[in-house]
Chain A
Amino acid sequence: DAKTTQPPSMDCAEGRAANLPCNHSTISGNEYVYWYRQIHSQGPQYIIHGLKNNETNEMASLIITEDRKSSTLILPHATLRDTAVYYCIVRVSIIQGAQKLVFGQGTRLTINP
């Protein structure tokens, strides 16, 4: 599975946009970029995913560079409830339908009042 690199921690002021970077320089053409977050002692929560185009949903936006070697997760108006560990995952199909996520250490995002 392709490896991802994220900063260990980031801070952001409440109400501002939080931009979380991720490097995945070994990504292959059929590998999706997924973002999950985990609030303390809870299970990871799906945020967004994409292949090559930028994506937006009600939670966040995902910007993927043209060469697909890096991406940025954007939380447009961060709130205190967005404080969590954010995982960037590149997901490859092992066999048809097989599900496996390889988590890195993630970025601990702290939203400050």
Chain B
Amino acid sequence: KAGVTQTPRYLIKTRGQQVTLSCSPISGHRSVSWYQQTPGQGLQFLFEYFSETQRNKGNFPGRFSGRQFSNSRSEMNVSTLELGDSALYLCASSPGTESTNEKLFFGSGTQLSVL
């Protein structure tokens, strides 16, 4: 079974641009979550999608958005990039049908650098 796939692996953008990151979950998984990891703030939850609906959201500005398609693939978008958006963006998938007794499987992440 293929794992969680994130593309691209590395990305360089300049301030003010926007960026779209992609995540393909494990086959059969319907929940996709996104996390941001920086040296200063660690791993922080961005949002979670289940059946094309945002089910949970972290404390990030509206410049960060996402969506999920009918095949459970997900994209996240960051508009008007700032230097502080430089981070490793991680996607995780899970079946999404249980509450707390469910493992999340993470992809390798997209390393975004904003210049």
Contacts and interface: CB of A to CB of B under 8 A. Distances in A.
Nearest to B4: A43
A44 B103 contact: no
B55 interface: yes
Q: Interface residues of A toward B: which range?
A: 20 to 34
A75 to B, nearest CB: 18
Q: Classify the interface of chain B: helix, strand, loop or mixed.
A: strand
Contacts of B50: 97-99
Given A93-B100, A103-B43, 11 more contacts: A44-B90, A49-B103, A97-B31, A97-B55, A97-B96, A99-B102, A101-B43, A101-B92, A102-B45, A103-B42, A104-B42
Interface of A: 30-32, 41-46, 49, 51, 87, 91-106
Interface of B: 4, 31, 33, 35, 42-45, 48, 50, 55-56, 58, 88, 90, 92, 94, 96-109, 111
